[in-house]
Structure formats: C-alpha cells, structure tokens
Structure 1
Amino acid sequence: MEEKVYREILRELDRHRGYGVHTGVEEVAGKFEQPYDAVRAIRSQFLQRKSIKNHYRVKDRARKHLERWKTGVSIGDLALELDFPPVLLANFLLMEMRNSKKRTKEMLKNLKLVKDERLRKELEDVTTRDELYTPISHNKQAAEGDRREDRLAVWLDGQKLEYFTENDLRQGTVEGKTPDFLLLQPLVWHGDEYHWVESKASFGDDYIHRKNHRGQVSQYVELYGHGMLVYWYGYLTNLQRKNYVIVDRRELGLE
C-alpha cells in the first residue's frame, strides 16, 4: 500500500469514534478499494497507539472522571467522550475507588466480585464491547497469530521444505532471537534464497515495522542470513528492509 493511501485511510478511520476494531471499516475499505481485513488491522493498530498516547492524560484525571461517573454518566459514555478504551478507563476508575491493582484485575476478570449493581452492569457492557483490552480479546489475538503460523507451516510443507519452528529452537540450545521458521534448506522464491521466515498477523506500517526490525528481524539476518518477513494483512511499499524480503499472504497465494 502506498503511504499516501495509508494516511488517507487513517484520516477516514479517525472520523469513526469508539474502540470497536470493526467500526467504520467496511465503509473505509469500500471507499479506498482495499481488503476489509487490511483496513481492520490498520484500525486496530491505530487505536492501540492512540490509547498509549492518551494513557497518562486520562489516568491523571481519574478522580475527575470518577466524579462524573458518580453523577450518572456511564463508563461507556465517558470512554466515548474521552475517545479512550472503556476497559482501560474502567481500570482507572476502579483503582480510584481505592481498589488495589491486584483487586482491580480480579474484579475485571470476575464481575461477580463487584457488589455495586450499576457498576457491575456497566463493566459487563464495556468488557463485552471492548475489542482490544479484555482477556477475551487478548486470547483472540494470540489465537489469530497461531492460526497464521499454522497456515504458513502448511505452505512451507507444500514447498517440500524442512524447518525448525520457534518452539523447536527454544527447546534446544539456540541462543538469541529465534524466527518462527528456520529452514534446513533454503526457500527459493522468485529466484532468491531465504533461510528463515517470520510471520506477523498485522499490517506492516512504519511503527510496527521499526519495532519488528529492531527487536527481531535485524538479528535474524545477522544470525541466519537472508529471510522472509510475512505481514498477513499487507504493508507499506516504502518500508526499509535489508537482506530480507517483505511479502503479504496474497503474494504467497494464501487467503
């Protein structure tokens, strides 16, 4: 995806308030003729970064937000007004109610511990709707990553290649960073050879890619040579890369 198109998509998505990862996605995907799952991934990553940016601004005013809640404004409405994830806001409010960090975590996991009926109902509402910061959403994200790796493993099997998985390497004596797949013989793709494959169930934007490059990929290159980085939901065409190739699943014939 071209940088200009990506920036225009972000501007359109920002018009759709709230922290639903699907909110506005169908409309924006249709307008820019982009795959739904790519725009959904872009929105999800955009929302996560926005929440990090606004974290302390909202936390530092938790007492004020609690007072507004006491006047009858719901947690969901407050979150929408503040443009902040409702579960994170609920976390701040519970701690402002003099619950410990541990107790707050327990209450959000088990709402039966919440005695106040209004509070319990509102927490049920926000934990159901928040698609980024609940245990259920975290489990879904982890499961999605595992499914993508499994599909990539099937693709590598179809290429008649043998490999060590990341788990195989961790159980052995390999030191340093380990890719998802370390190939025992090179993958030949478009005439070039690659010795490792890393799968990312995300869209490769500048922020995500810098993080992946510095934290993992550059070390894979140093340890194992040329490799392949797979962004399942697409990537920006101007991403920097050296001694590895960037592809998305469609380039590998995967849907």
Structure 2
Amino acid sequence: MEMSVYNDIIDCIHAFNSRKCLPKLVETYPGIPVNTLGSILSQDYQKKMKKCHHQRYSTSSVEKYYQRYLQDVSAGKECVILSLADEIDLSPALTARIILEKHLSVTKHDGQSASRSQVTQMMRDTTLIEDPVLAAEVHYCVLDDDHYGPLVDCIKHSVGHEYEFKLKRKLDSLDLAYIGEEEMRARGYDKTPDIKMEVPIAVNGHVVNWIESKASFGDEHSHKGYEKDQFWSYWNRFGPGMVIYWFGYIKELDVNREKGIMLMDDFPANIVTMDPLQR
C-alpha cells in the first residue's frame, strides 16, 4: 500500500471519529482486505489512546468518573461505564479499569491504589470482582472493546499463532529446513525471530536467513519500533532476512532490502534454494 492511500484511510478514520467505523471503511475501500483496514483502525485508535489516556487519569477526572458511575448505577441505569467511555471518547476497557481501580482503592485499600497485577487479573476474570454490578459493567466493556483489553490481547495472540502456523506449513510444504523460536531459545539464542532458516533461501536476489511473521499492518510507527527492537538485532546475529506483514505494509517503508531487511505481505511465490550437492 502506498503512503498516500494509507494517509487517505487515516483521514477517513478521523472523519468518521468512531471506534466502530470498520464497516464504513470496508464500504469506502472495497478493494482493500478487511483485515488490513481493521489493523490500520486498531493501530490508529491505540495511538490515540496513548496520547490522551493520561489526561483521563488525573485525580480530578478519576473522581468525577467514579462519582458519575455511582450516581448512574444508583439510578438503575445499565451499561454505565460503556456509556461513559463513549462520552469521554476513551476505550471502554481503559474506562472500566479506571473505575475498577478507584473502586478497589475506596473499598479495599483505604484510598491506596490496588496492585496493577490484581487489577489486570480482575479485568481478565470479572468473576473475581466482588461487587456484582461492577463485575457486569466491566464485563460489558471488555466484550465491547474492539481495540483494547484482555479479550483483544487474546485474539491478537491467537491470530499471531495462526499466521506463524501458516508460515511453517508453507515452509514444510517446500521441504525447507528451519527451526522455530522455542528451539532457538533451547539452543541459547537471546534474540529469536519466528523462523531461522537452517539452509538460507533467496528471494528476488536477496538472501534470507530468517523470517519474522507479523499478523498486522506495517505502518510507520510500528515498523520503526520493530526495526529498533527486533529486526536489526536479528540482522546483527543472523544476517539478512525477511519480514512478512500479512495484512500489508506501507511500500515506502521497504527501503532496507539492499542492507538486508526485506518486507513482504505474503510468502513469496518464487524462491531459490541452495543445492548443497551442486558445485
């Protein structure tokens, strides 16, 4: 995908100004896969939340939200936190976490914040929340949030494994020798791409010693982070390699092929394998 198309999609997302605008995006861009549009939407929404959520965590804001929650629940209203999240333009899961943290500090910790791990555990399993109304409210938020929260984390983890399996199945079908992350860790490697080729392959004239599978769209923000934290580390240890962004990527980011990091949106159809018996 060219940068101009990506920027147009981002402008469209901002114009819709809704975390549930995916159907509108699909209608607006019929030629772009839904997984690609969904990944772009989620990435943009998460960046938006990172920029604004600290403002929502101010002491005055938290107190205001909690009092609003108590008042609406007392009035017999339902989906209170979900409605509040939409009103303040914050992720439902993040809003639920704010209310839950405040509730625990008031009822269990004498004004002191509950531990992060305790709150996270309750977000993952709302049956651990003693207040049944709050438990239901948090549960609604987790289920409704398409971009944040424990349910989304589980889905992303599952999809990531699905595409890693797809990659391995393709390598197996081609009878290519490789090892995965678990075996690499067992051998003592500290930096582990998803696949390390035991025998290198060549793609479009470029040698590939390792493959990283990303079940997401490669936008500039995420790609630069991956380059810094992962890709160049793999390059330093194993030489040139290939990154597959299964949901597409911005073409202008593919600038390091000659240096040894090649971007693809699928496993390449034409590869060259080395014949160890040939001289």
User: Above 0.5 in TM-score?
Assistant: yes
Q: Structure 2: state its 5+ residue gaps.
A: 109-113, 271-279
1:11-26 superposed matches below 5 A: 11-19=11-19, 23-26=20-23
* Alignment correspondent of 1:75: 81
| Identity level (%) | 28
* Alignment correspondent of 1:247: 264
Larger radius of gyration: 2
* Alignment correspondent of 1:48: 46
Question: Against the structure 1 CA distance between its residues 146 and 106, is the aligned structure 2 distance closer, same or farther, given a 3 Å change threshold?
Answer: closer
* Alignment correspondent of 1:187: 201
Q: How many residues align?
A: 249
State the AA in 2 paired with 1:182. K
State the AA in 2 paired with 1:200. K
4+ long deviations beyond 6 Å: none
What is the CA distance between 1:187 and its match in structure 2? Answer: 1.5
Cα RMSD, aligned residues only: 2.1
Question: What CA distance in whole angstroms lies between the structure 1 residues aligned with 2:18 and 2:85?
Answer: 8
State the AA in 1 paired with 2:225. K
State the AA in 1 paired with 2:191. K
Question: Against the structure 1 CA distance between its residues 120 and 18, is the aligned structure 2 distance closer, same or farther, given a 3 Å change threshold?
Answer: farther
1:216-231 superposed matches below 5 A: 216-231=230-245
**1:24-75 deviation per Cα after TM superposition (whole angstroms, max 9, x unaligned):** 2232233233111100010111111111111211111211211222332821
* Alignment correspondent of 1:153: 168
State the AA in 2 paired with 1:68. R
1:31-180 superposed matches below 5 A: 31-32=28-29, 33-60=31-58, 61-72=61-72, 74-97=80-103, 98=105, 99=108, 100-101=114-115, 102-174=117-189, 176-180=190-194
Is contact 1:164-1:183 (8 Å) kept?
yes
Question: What CA distance in whole angstroms lies between the structure 2 residues aligned with 1:166 and 1:232?
Answer: 19
State the AA in 1 paired with 2:27. G
Is contact 2:201-2:208 (8 Å) kept?
yes
What is the CA distance between 1:193 and its match in structure 2? Answer: 2.1
TM-score (norm: length of structure 2): 0.82
Question: What CA distance in whole angstroms lies between the structure 2 residues aligned with 1:193 and 1:112?
Answer: 52
Q: Structure 1: state its 5+ residue gaps.
A: none
What is the CA distance between 1:158 and its match in structure 2? Answer: 2.4
Question: What CA distance in whole angstroms lies between the structure 1 residues aligned with 2:179 and 2:170?
Answer: 14
* Alignment correspondent of 1:29: 26
Is contact 1:17-1:80 (8 Å) kept?
no
Question: What CA distance in whole angstroms lies between the structure 2 residues aligned with 1:16 and 1:24?
Answer: 7
Is contact 2:13-2:21 (8 Å) kept?
yes
Question: What CA distance in whole angstroms lies between the structure 2 residues aligned with 1:63 and 1:172?
Answer: 51
Question: What CA distance in whole angstroms lies between the structure 1 residues aligned with 2:215 and 2:160?
Answer: 5
State the AA in 1 paired with 2:50. I
